[in-house]
């Protein structure tokens, strides 16, 4: 496929922001069961701010790293909930992963996926099985990297990531939370999908649509 440009990334952020607006109430509802019911608002505000700030950049005067760093800062400033620093770190790591590139090819898009997931894990220190967004991001990143190492086309790598994220999201239903706000519920968190894993899967589905375009 052709290289991904600054304008493509600006459009991608807008697409994710739109999706989060549409999913806001459902995400708040999930968070209402095992958290404080604000996750949909956090994700909507975060991606709206990221899309707006990135969209104001002049494509001829910036590069993908500039777009992703701007998105990181805007997301962090807009979101007071714990998802704020987690996604801000993800974007910052993605920015660093493609530093110096004017546009992004398949390898850079594989690097970006790995960097997003690693940023979230490094920042929140959650492991798989603790009922967080890491339960979607980590297996998705593994599946993406594995498909990449097998030399499969980028769209297939991102499809594999999405399938793994969906599976990971669904698996959070059977987990007891041990990180984040819902950890205080103990066993009462059982039987419910983690809102952060649900929103992560939405982000990843936007990414996979984006690379297939």
**Where does this chain bind Mg ion (CB under 5 A)?**
31, 35-36, 38-39
CA distance 200 to 136: 6
Question: Positive or negative CA dihedral for 94, 98, 103, 108?
Answer: negative
82 binds ligand ADP (CB under 6 A): yes
Radius of gyration of the chain (CA): 16
Question: 78, 106 in Cβ contact below 8 A?
Answer: no
Q: How far is the CB of 126 from ligand ADP (least distance, A)?
A: 3
d(CA 26, CA 48): 17
For the CB of residue 139, give the shortest distance to ligand ADP in the complex, in Å: 14
Under rule CB under 6 A, residue 119 binds ligand ADP: no
Contact status, residue 182 vs residue 126, Cβ threshold 8 Å: no
* CB of 155 closer than 8 Å to CB of 1: yes
Q: What is the DSSP string of 164-205?
A: HHHHHHHHGGG----SSGGGGGGGGGTTS--HHHHHHHHHHH
Is residue 83 at the binding interface for ligand ADP, with CB under 6 A as the rule? yes
Nearer to ligand ADP, 96 or 183 (CB): 183
Only one of the segments 66-74, 79-87, 103-111, 157-165 lies at the binding site for ligand ADP (rule: CB under 6 A); that segment is 79-87
Tell which positions 155-194 bind ligand ADP, by CB under 6 A: 179-181, 194
Question: How many residues interact with ligand ADP (rule CB under 6 A)?
Answer: 24
211 binds ligand ADP, rule: CB under 6 A: no
The answer to the question of residue 206 lying near ligand ADP (CB under 6 A) is: no
We find the least distance from the C-beta atom of residue 129 to ligand ADP, in angstroms, to be 12
Cβ closest to ligand ADP, residue 88 vs residue 104 = 88
CB 119, min distance to ligand ADP, A: 11
Nearest distance from C-beta of residue 151 to ligand ADP, angstroms? 31
Taking alpha carbons only, the member of 76, 102, 100 closest to residue 90 is 76
Helices of type H across 56-153: 64-78, 83-97, 106-124, 134-149
| Binding residues for ligand ADP (CB under 6 A) | 31, 35-36, 38-39, 42, 81-83, 86, 120, 124-126, 132-134, 179-181, 194-197
């Amino acid at each position: 496929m052709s290289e991904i440009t600054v304008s493509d990334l600006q459009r991608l952020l807008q697409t994710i922001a739109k999706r989060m607006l549409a999913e806001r109430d459902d995400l708040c509802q999930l968070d209402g069961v095992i958290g404080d019911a604000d996750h949909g608002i956090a994700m909507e505000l975060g991606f709206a701010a990221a899309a707006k700030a990135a969209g104001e950049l002049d494509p001829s005067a910036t590069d993908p790293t500039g777009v992703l760093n701007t998105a990181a800062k805007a997301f962090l400033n807009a979101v007071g909930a714990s998802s704020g620093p987690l996604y801000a770190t993800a974007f910052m790591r993605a920015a660093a992963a493609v530093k110096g590139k004017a546009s992004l090819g398949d390898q850079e898009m594989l690097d970006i996926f790995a960097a997003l997931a690693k940023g979230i894990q490094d920042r929140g220190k959650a492991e798989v099985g603790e009922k967080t967004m890491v339960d979607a991001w980590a297996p998705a990143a593994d599946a993406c990297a594995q498909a990449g190492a097998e030399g499969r086309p980028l769209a297939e790598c991102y499809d594999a990531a999405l399938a793994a994220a969906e599976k990971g999201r669904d698996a959070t239903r059977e987990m007891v939370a041990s990180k984040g706000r819902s950890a205080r519920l103990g066993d009462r968190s059982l039987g419910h999908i983690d809102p952060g894993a649900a929103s992560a899967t939405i982000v990843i589905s936007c990414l996979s649509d984006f690379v297939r375009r």
